[in-house]
Structure 1
């Protein structure tokens, strides 16, 4: 599969940086071609008709896609956050049709968690659901939600209108009356994906669409997978920066000699290569841990007990920081050209920055690591 992904990247992504940076309409033609190549939603298990790739293998797949375009990669892998929740905690009559459609049609899944006031404090979500007979009725507004407009299904985090402590993740068909796309955000980076502000007004769906368990815990479980793959994006972008630096150094001359023969340049590129290798090892180790949970006798119960994995938090935090160091070094290497829109390095710097921002910024990752894994067990929350 990885060979086919590399071929796809060469054919469909590498030469289209300006196009993907132009906020293309979603879904893109390239997304349809990813599906035609049998590569879309590659991680969905074979039980639903998917290729069933492991999360560890997905690290390298995402790295390759991000080498071509980080935004395209982000939009392509982000449904994993929702498919994990559906697979483990959705009733069969709800989960199976959604997962099989994603395989059959190569579509997207929207996750609606973020809100303007709550930010990363998901326990402060103001979106509510109320029971009305056999239905749930949802009301609220979600701030940043990638893939929501082209998605077939939305998974919405909401709290009970009658019980502030009752959180749910509810499957909402995109075509449900009351679902409104308020705007598409004009993002600074990863512009090859689509991120939206979404309003829910009297959205009525079957109560069976509620996933089993506390909604906050379910998001923690799914975020393990998506955070690891967000971290893997940094690997692909860093590799592209390394290769562009080598191409530049082959032509650029310093004091009469090629830049690539310069000892300072060699040291910088050697440091880049070490960083890229450590990033990949961290991501694959975190992904392998998640895969072991999925292979457990009762993966839903096993992951529900642990919630947020330390390795997933560490992978995202480390790769965001280490990748940013690579991006900074790379952009400086190009001098003034590295601070323009006339060279791909500028786009790569903007793309890489998202790793430390989305699905919990670096300070959120640090706080979670502290609260869940540093504070003595009896005092953790």
Structure 2
């Protein structure tokens, strides 16, 4: 649902210009220093990148799902650090408040998230709760008007620089699975909360990830999202169903960028007296990349439009994330192959960095294997029950 085509077209043009003229020349520096220059972050704040999906009533752009994925495909035609810097505010870091927060909670935090004054993140994953997200061990014990939280969250994107954490904890003692889970907003500076040192990672330099540790962390009961205890898992699923569409789009942008790099290289490099792009086996890889990118883009846009119509996208969002993340990995591999030896050497090409960066897409927000199981489960659920 595109509400104002001219406004969206202008926004996409601005994103495309920013990515190509500002970000691409910085990618090597960001990779080397593992940090984004402050002036670039300030520009992202001024130009509203942090508030794309936050409602207009709270200072954001209030993009529809279709508008969001179109913008995400443009923004992510860059090293992953760029979209990761703003991505938690336009996705998993703010979406729980947007979906289920009280009016007072939204008014308190969303406007500052929209401007980028606050960086938000989702603290869900734990050492023993990854693919099985219901195996949450972090506890939240009621103590007067507060809850006391204890536990460790792991692999939390933007945790080292986040100001606000959406934390999922178990408030019902003895509960198991998805019952008894509650979503809290916890602010940095709260006694008992700290973040670990950023991890050393295979890729995605400039996108800091770390543990979040809570030791007798005292949080006001008023910071329960929606002020409803025990519905945290339902809130998380609302977040993830939308975010999986967003992430699928964020997998598609890098595939477009990698193919562009490979096309430039194969047209410019000659072997046996002609450009490498003239060879049929190279053309087969180009064709496969272009076709799969088109398929992913089509799937994502159709699912986003369904969500904008108010339809249930649990199945289609899972299919989009599964296909787009796997597609991106296949494109990365083909593009390195098209570069030949120079695709393996960082001194010659950035394609090796993209190859490393996109590997994580098939792991986070549901591994490919978890999505396969989810897709099968939801498909079987749609079928008429067979009676013995």
Q: CA RMSD in A?
A: 2.0
Please list the CA deviations of residues 315-353 of structure 1 after superposition, one character each: whole Å capped at 9, or x if unmatched: 110011111111111101111111222211101111121
Q: Matches of 1:128 and 1:27 in 2, distance apart?
A: 37
What is the alpha-carbon distance in structure 1 between the residues aligned to residue 262 and residue 334 of structure 2? 10
Among residues 17, 42, 62, which one is paired with 2:52 in the alignment?
42
| Cα distance in 1 between the residues matched to 2:78 and 2:117 | 19
Contact persistence 2:34–2:206 (CA under 8 A): yes
The equivalent of 1:330 in structure 2 is 335
Unaligned runs of 5+ in 1: 294-301
The corresponding residue for 1:352 is: 358
- Equivalent of 2:222 in 180, 205, 208: 208
* CA separation of 1:226 and 1:2: change in aligned 2, threshold 3 A: same
Following TM superposition, by how much is the alpha carbon of 1:378 offset from its aligned partner in structure 2, in angstroms? 8.7
Bigger mean CA deviation after superposition, 38-47 or 367-376: 367-376
Contact 1:91 1:208 in 2 (8 A): no
What is the aligned counterpart of 1:16 among 7, 11, 26?
26
Q: Distance in 2 between matches of 1:41 and 1:24?
A: 24
Report the number of matched residues.
367
Equivalent residue, structure 2, for 1:123: 134
Change (3 A) 1:326 1:117: same
Counterpart Cα distance in 1 of 2:37 and 2:120: 12
2:111 maps to 100
Could you say which residue in structure 2 is the equivalent of 1:179?
193
- Answer whether contact 2:51 2:59 (CA < 8 A) is retained: no
8 Å Cα contact 2:99-2:239 kept in structure 1: no
Check the 8 A contact 2:343/2:351 in 1, yes or no: yes
Partners in 2 of 1:242 and 1:211 — Cα distance? Answer: 42
Distance 1:111 1:122, change over 3 A: same
Q: Distance in 2 between matches of 1:108 and 1:208?
A: 20
Of 60, 84, 92, the match for 1:74: 84
Q: 1:62 aligns with which of 62, 69, 72?
A: 72
Structure 2 CA distance for aligned equivalents of residues 291 and 27 of structure 1: 36
Provide the residue aligned with 2:43 in structure 1.
33
2:123/2:165 contact within 8 Å kept: yes
Distance 1:376-1:65 versus aligned 2 partners, 3 A rule: closer
Question: How many angstroms apart in 1 are the aligned matches of 2:23 and 2:36?
Answer: 15
Deviation at 1:376, TM superposition (A): 6.0
Distance of aligned partners of 1:149 and 1:113 in 2 relative to their CA distance in 1, 3 Å threshold: same
- Of structures 1 and 2, the one with the larger relative CO (CA 8 A, separation 6+) is 1
Deviation at residue 377 of structure 1 after TM alignment: 6.7
The farther-off stretch of 92-101 and 225-234 is: 225-234
Instruction: State the 1:27 CA deviation.
Output: 8.1
TM-score if structure 2 supplies the norm length? 0.89
**2:4 matched residue in structure 1:** none
Structure 1 counterpart SS, 2:126: coil
Contact 2:51–2:62 (Cα < 8 Å) also in 1: no
Is the Cα contact below 8 Å between 2:245 and 2:303 reproduced in 1?
yes
Q: Which moved more, 1:257-266 or 1:18-27?
A: 18-27
1:263 and 2:261 equivalent?
no
Query: Residue 287 of structure 1 aligns with which residue?
Result: 304
8 Å contact from structure 1 (residues 62, 77) kept in 2: no
Matched, 1:250 2:261: no
Q: Deviations over 1:194-235 (max 9, x none)?
A: 111110111112101112451111111101222222221221
Q: Which runs of 5+ in 2 are unaligned?
A: 1-10
From 298, 311, 316, give the equivalent of 2:316.
311
Quote the offset at 1:375 in angstroms.
4.3
- Give deviations 1:43-89, integer Å, cap 9, x for gaps: 21111121111221221222222212222213322231232221221
Aligned with 1:244: secondary structure?
Answer: helix
For 2:127 and 2:267, locate their aligned partners in 1 and report how far apart those are by CA, in whole Å.
47
Partners of 2:84 and 2:306 in 1: CA distance: 22
Which of 199, 208, 221 is equivalent to 1:194? 208
Distance 1:312 1:75, change over 3 A: farther
Matches of 2:36 and 2:185 in 1, distance apart?
21
Against the structure 1 CA distance between its residues 28 and 197, is the aligned structure 2 distance closer, same or farther, given a 3 Å change threshold?
Answer: farther
What's the counterpart of residue 52 of structure 1?
62
Aligned with 2:169: secondary structure?
A: strand
